[in-house]
Amino acid sequence: MGIEKNLANLGIVTTCLDKVLNWSRKNSLWPMTFGLACCALEMMVTVSARHDIARFGAEVYRGSPRQADLLIVPGTLTKKMLPMVLRLYEQMPEPKWVIAYGNCACTGGVFRTYNVVQGIDQYIPVDVYMAGCPPKPESLLTAIMMLRDKIDKESLKNRG
Amino acid sequence: MTVEGNETRKEMILNMGPQHPATHGVLRLLLHLEGEVVKKTIPIIGYLHRGVEKLGENRTYIQNIVFTDRLDYTASMSNNLSYALAVEKLCGIEVPERARVIRVIMTELQRIAAHLLWLGTYALDIGAMSVFFYCFREREKILDMFEMVSGQRLTPSYICIGGVRRDIDDKFLEALKVFCDTFNDYVKDYENLLTKNPIWIERLKDVAVLSAEDAINWGVTGPVLRASGVKFDFRRATPYCGYENYEFDIPVGTKGDCYDRYLVRVEEMRQSNRILKQAMKDIPDGPIMADVPFIAFPPKDQVMNNIEALIKHFKIASGTFQIPKGEVYSSIENPKGELGFYIVSDGSSKPYRMRIKSSCFVNLSALPFMTQGCLVADLIAALGSIDIVLGEIDR
Amino acid sequence: MNRQEIIDRIQGKVSSLIAGTSQGIDYPVVYVNKEHLIEFMKFLKEDEELSFDLISDVTAVDYPDRNPRFDVVYHIFSIKNGQRIRVKVPVGDGEGVESVTSVWRGAEWLEREVYDMFGITFYNHPDLRRILMEEDFKYYPLRKDFPLEGIEE
C-alpha cells in the first residue's frame, strides 16, 4: 500500500470532487422504510442475515424521508396511496434515487384495474426497474448494484 | 404527521401512517389522543385496494388463482387452497388422496412461515431486533422448499383447481424432514428470547384485552379468537383436505391479551410441525390432479407428447370451459383466521361474483374497540398482535 | 344439527318472517324480505339450538337486469353446531336495508364495504362511510356497469 502510506505522510489527497462524492454516496445509500405490498416482504428478506444488504452499505433503513436518499417502491401503488408517495418523494433531500421494485411498481403488473397506478414512472423519475412478481431478494441486490454503477457515473454538473 | 390542538379539551388528533415503520404496510390510523392516552382509534384502509374482486369477475377461474396469491401474501399457499376448494365444491371435484396430503403439507408449512414472519416483525415493533433475524432464518428454509416445488418463493400458485401443480420429489421430502426434525428446537430458541423476557411481558401482558364474548361478537377469527379462550379452529369445525385424520391440539389463551396471542401463535407453530410429521410419514402414491377434463390441467409430460392432452390444456388455459351454475361459500383456517371465498357462477368460464372474505379485515375492525383508553405504545403492540396484512384487507 | 334440521327449525319457529328456503350446494339458504331482517337475524343468533353467533361475511351481488337489483348476502356461522347459513335479502337500486350491527358488532366494516362497493345503504349503521375508496369517489366499483379499468375523470 505504497500510495496510501505516502499520502498519509503528506496529509493530502488529490482527486476529482465528483469521484469523492459519488464514492461516498454509492457506498452509503439510505433507503426508506416503506412497504407497499408483497414485494416489501422480499425487501425485508434482503435485510435479514441470508442476503445481508449491509454488504453494500444500504442497510440503514430510515423511518423518515428526510433522512433517506433511496426510495424503493416495493409493490402495487394505488391511486389512494399515490399522493402520499409523491409527498414522501418530495420530502426526501437531493440527491435521491428511486428503484421501482416489482412488476406492479414498474407497470401495474397483473392489476390493470380502476384503483391501481399503472407504473410509478408516470409520476416520479425511476432510476432502476426490477421486474418480477415479486423479484427475489437477489434482484434487489442487483438493483442496488446497478444503482451504484449509475451513481458512479453521475457528475455535479448534471445533478446535485 | 398532522397535529391539531384544541385548547379547551386538550385533545390531539394524530395521524399514524399510511407510511409508518410500525404499521405493517399501508394502514393509516387516526388517533384521538389526550396526552399519551388513546381516546379513539379510527383505522383508515384502502391504500392497497387493487380491485381483486372486480378483477375476478373479468378473468377465468384458472387465471384467478394468481390473484389469490397476492391477497395475503404472507400465506399464498393457504389462499390458493381456499380458492381451489371453493371452485372444487362448485364443480363437485374429488381431489386425489396424494394431492390432499401435499396440500396439507404446504399449508402447514405456510402457516409456520406466516407465524415466523409475524413473530419477527412483531418483535421488531416491540424493540427486540435479534428475533427478526432468527425467524427469517427459518422462514427462508420454508421459502426454499416452496421454490423447490413451484419455482416461486412468495407467490407460488402451486395449489390449483383439481389438485396441485407439480409432484413433490425426494429432495423436497429430505428438506422437509430436516426442517421438521429441527424446527422445535428453533421454537425453543425464540421462546428463550421472549417468553420470560421481562420487557416483553411488560409490553404485552394485559394489553388490548378482548374477552371471548366480545371476540365472537366482533366476528374475529384465527389466533386472535383462540387467544381469547374460544377453542375454535376451522380445521376441526369444518374439516377439509382430511384434517380430521390428523392429531393436533388447538391452543387457547386465557385472557385474550397480546401475550396470549403470542403464546397461541408460538404453540400453533409447534402443532403445525406435528401435523407435518404425521403428513409426511406416509404420503400415498397416485395422481396429483383430479381427472376432470374440463377444468383440471392434464399432466405436463402428456401435454408435451399427446395431442389430446395438449388440446385439453389449451381449452382450459384459453378459458373455453364451462362451470356448473350455482353459488358456493368455502372457507379455511388461514394463518390469520377464516379466509372465505363466495363464488356465484352463471355457467360461464368466469365467476359472476367472486367475494373474498378476509379475516384480517374483520380482525382489524375490532382494533378500535380493543384499544380504547390504552397508551400509544400499547397501540403499537395491539396492532402488531392482531397480525394484519393489508393485501388481504384491501383486496 | 344437520342442514335439514336447521331449515326445519327455522320453518317451524319463524315461518312468518322468511320468504323461502332452499338447500344450496353447500349450505342452507334462507330468503328474507328486508322488513323482517333484524327480527330474523336476532332469532338466528339467540335461538338456543341454532346459535348462529359468528358473522362470517356480508356482501352483495349485483343483477342489473333484475328487479330488485341487488341481493345482500349474509353468511353466518354457528360455533356450537359447526354449520353455516346463508341469508339473502333482495334490495332495489337506491334502497337500503337495516344494519345488523345491533346483532353482530362485526358486521360494521363488512356493511361499510358493501355500501362502498355497491351503494346499498344500511339504516341505523353507527358509521356508514366509504371504507376502501376515497371519500369523494363518485362511483360504486363492484356494480356491473362500472368498467374494470375505471372511468377517466
- Supply the pLDDT for residue B34: 84
C1 or B163, greater pLDDT: B163
B10 or C113, greater pLDDT: C113
**Over 50: is that where the pLDDT of B247 sits?**
yes
**Over 80: is that where the pLDDT of A12 sits?**
no
- Edge-first strand order for the sheet with A128-130 is A70-74, A97-101, A128-130
Pairing assessment for the beta strands A70-74 and A97-101 based on DSSP bridges: parallel
From B99-103, B115-119, B227-231, C8-12, the region with the lowest mean pLDDT: C8-12
How much of chain B exceeds pLDDT 70, in percent?
96
Average of per-residue pLDDT across B62-85: 89
Question: Quick one: CA torsion of B235, B237, B242, B245, rounded to 10 degrees?
Answer: 100
Hunting for cell 448534471 — which residue is that? A158
List pLDDT tens digits, range A37-51.
888 888 888 888 888
Going by C-alpha positions, the residue among B39, B43, B19 that lies closest to residue B29 is: B43
Average of per-residue pLDDT across B171-177: 90
Average of per-residue pLDDT across B270-297: 85
Cβ separation A44–B121 shorter than 8 A: yes
Residue to mutate among B225, B362, B392, with most C CBs inside 10 A, is B362
Which grid coordinates are listed for B78? Answer: 393457504
pLDDT band at A160 (very low <50, low <70, confident <90, very high): very low
Cβ separation A35–B24 shorter than 8 A: yes
Phi, psi values for residue B18, rounded to 5°: -70, -20
pTM, rounded to two decimals: 0.89
- C-chain residues within 8 Å CB-CB of A80? 133-134
**Over 80: is that where the pLDDT of B18 sits?**
no
List pLDDT tens digits, range C49-105.
888 888 888 999 989 888 888 889 999 988 888 888 889 999 888 888 888 888 888
- A-chain residues within 8 Å CB-CB of C134? 79-80
- Supply the pLDDT for residue A2: 65
Strands (E), chain B: 3-4, 12-16, 28-34, 37-44, 159-160, 163-164, 326-334, 337-345, 351-357
How much of chain A exceeds pLDDT 70, in percent?
92
Contact B208, B381 (CB under 8 A): yes
What does the mean pLDDT of chain A come to?
A: 84
Average of per-residue pLDDT across B297-305: 82
- Supply the pLDDT for residue B3: 52
Cβ separation C146–A114 shorter than 8 A: yes
Q: How many beta-carbon pairs below 8 A join chains B and C? A: 98
Alpha-carbon B60 to chain mean position: 23
Those of residues 4-33 in C touching chain B at CB distance below 8 A are 24-27
Which grid coordinates are listed for C124? Answer: 341505523
pLDDT band at B115 (very low <50, low <70, confident <90, very high): very high
**Over 50: is that where the pLDDT of A8 sits?**
yes
- State the DSSP H helix or E strand holding residue C123, giving kind and residue range, or none if neither: strand C121-123
- Supply the pLDDT for residue B321: 80
- Nearest by CB to residue C134, choosing from A80, A112, A113, is A80
Average of per-residue pLDDT across B112-135: 88
B202 or B299, greater pLDDT: B202
Those of residues 65-124 in A touching chain B at CB distance below 8 A are 75-76, 78, 80-81, 84-85, 88, 110-111, 113-116
- Supply the pLDDT for residue B46: 85
Q: Tell me the shortest Cα–Cα distance from C9 to chain A, in angstroms.
A: 45
Q: Highest mean pLDDT: which of B175-184, B290-299, C1-10?
A: B175-184
Residue A127 CB contacts under 8 Å (≥ 6 apart), including other chains: A97, A98, A99, A147, A150
Residue C106, chain B, CB below 8 Å: the answer is: yes
From A92-101, B9-18, B257-266, C28-37, the region with the lowest mean pLDDT: B9-18
- Supply the pLDDT for residue B388: 86
- Supply the pLDDT for residue B1: 44
Cβ separation B19–A114 shorter than 8 A: no
- Supply the pLDDT for residue C52: 87
From A155-159, B335-339, C85-89, the region with the lowest mean pLDDT: A155-159
Q: Tell me the shortest Cα–Cα distance from B183 to chain A, in angstroms.
A: 18
Phi, psi values for residue C88, rounded to 5°: -120, 135
**Over 60: is that where the pLDDT of B236 sits?**
yes
- Supply the pLDDT for residue B112: 92
